[in-house]
Structure 1
């Protein structure tokens, strides 16, 4: 099977070398592609200097468009499996093969690396943990699927989901919304425990104040999508009867 690690990167010049070294030292049988989201720092020049595999976007698309560009690269190059692995150094490559094994053995369509199953390692801020817990309960109430870490960007998907997410992928904060979308379409989503690191260099795009905005916006998007889907199903049943 052809397997690809997709690394979205925006202004990660201080982290990207460490991320690639982690992958090369801990993972076998996976290719990788850095998707440079029109960084304004020296990320792209550093990648070229080091000879890293990089897809350089001509304009900034944000995290959703950046990751979807990686999925389209995977689709167009015939990959069977794709894993999102952030370029900020918070993910540990040693768990990649575990995510892959669990997905294949349990026939999941997506497997998410969760920091909240064993509650070990970096756990994020209190405000964000409260918001993540709320999103987890919201997703469970809508999809009947228990996801403890719905905002995790450490996730692996199969070929069917690659093709699906190439057609539509949420733009702003895609992780929770994509879980709901996939569960609604009947895909099987699971989790495995992982240990994540605190960002060493650079700055997260989500500040404490934006964390609140993030949770409200994502929650509304999930609820609106759920209501639209429910109303559409009602209309289909009425027309069918």
Structure 2
């Protein structure tokens, strides 16, 4: 499969080069694209200095907007699989091949921390449990790590992300695609590291609001979202 790792990056000057170096070393046959999401630090300069393929967004769109920009690039250049990969060093490059391989048989593959491991007890994990239950109630599907940011999407999903509005790499979009595009979702076990440097898209407060927003969206808002009329073949 022709695969692309999409790396959204907002103020990731301290970790971006190591992340890309690891990705290139472990997955030399997988392309990558950095999406510089309106960074105010040297992220864009690092991309230019190293001749990274990158999109330079003039303003900060947030994770969803940055990722969808990357998916439009993947669609334009004919990729068969797109992998969401963090710029902050939390995602381990050695799992990319397993996600791409699994995407040959399904639509969305989630790199899951909890396929074989128990979920730790914390407020953030309580939010993850709430989202898991909301997805199970509305779709019947069991996703053990719905908030994992390491995901792979096959070509059919790339087309939808490129053509439809407001398609972010979030649990509510995954839930919507299960119901309206009959997306097949699977999980592969991964381990993740702690953020090594840089600025996260989420702090504690925004993480809690995110969990509440996702749960509400899955249980209520998705009921009123329009049906897909695009290419579902």
> Which TM-score applies when normalising by structure 2?
0.90
Corresponding residue number in structure 1 for 2:138: 142
Q: Which moved more, 1:69-78 or 1:160-169?
A: 160-169
Higher Cα Rg: structure 1 or 2? 1
1:101-180 matches, within 5 Å, as 101-104=101-104, 107-119=105-117, 126-168=122-164, 170=166, 174-180=169-175
Q: 1:129-163 CA distances to partner (integer Å, 9 max, x unpaired)? A: 11001101111111111111111111111111001
Equivalent pair of 1:64/1:169 in contact (CA under 8 Å) = no
Corresponding residue number in structure 1 for 2:37: 37
1:169/1:94 Cα in 2 relative to 1: closer, same or farther (>3 Å)? farther
Q: Any stretches of 5+ residues in structure 2 without a counterpart?
A: 228-233
Q: Which moved more, 1:7-16 or 1:147-156?
A: 147-156
1:202-213 matches, within 5 Å, as 202-213=198-209
Give the Cα separation in 2 of the matches to 1:94 and 1:113.
Answer: 11
Give the Cα separation in 2 of the matches to 1:11 and 1:159.
Answer: 29
C-alpha deviation, 1:202, in angstroms: 2.0
1:76-115 matches, within 5 Å, as 76-104=76-104, 107-115=105-113
Give the Cα separation in 1 of the matches to 2:17 and 2:165.
Answer: 28
Give the Cα separation in 2 of the matches to 1:219 and 1:199.
Answer: 25
Give the Cα separation in 2 of the matches to 1:229 and 1:206.
Answer: 26
Give the Cα separation in 1 of the matches to 2:141 and 2:112.
Answer: 14
Give the Cα separation in 2 of the matches to 1:2 and 1:187.
Answer: 20
Give the Cα separation in 2 of the matches to 1:176 and 1:42.
Answer: 31
C-alpha deviation, 1:174, in angstroms: 4.2
Residue among 180, 185, 192 paired with 1:189: 185
Query: Between Structure 1 and Structure 2, which shows a larger proportion of helix residues?
Result: 1
1:67/1:82 Cα in 2 relative to 1: closer, same or farther (>3 Å)? same
Corresponding residue number in structure 2 for 1:239: none
Equivalent pair of 1:68/1:169 in contact (CA under 8 Å) = no
RMSD: 2.0
C-alpha deviation, 1:128, in angstroms: 0.8
Give the Cα separation in 2 of the matches to 1:170 and 1:117.
Answer: 29
Equivalent pair of 1:5/1:82 in contact (CA under 8 Å) = yes
C-alpha deviation, 1:224, in angstroms: 1.9
Q: How many pairs are equivalent? A: 226
> Which TM-score applies when normalising by structure 1?
0.87
Q: Any stretches of 5+ residues in structure 1 without a counterpart?
A: 233-241
Give the Cα separation in 2 of the matches to 1:87 and 1:125.
Answer: 26
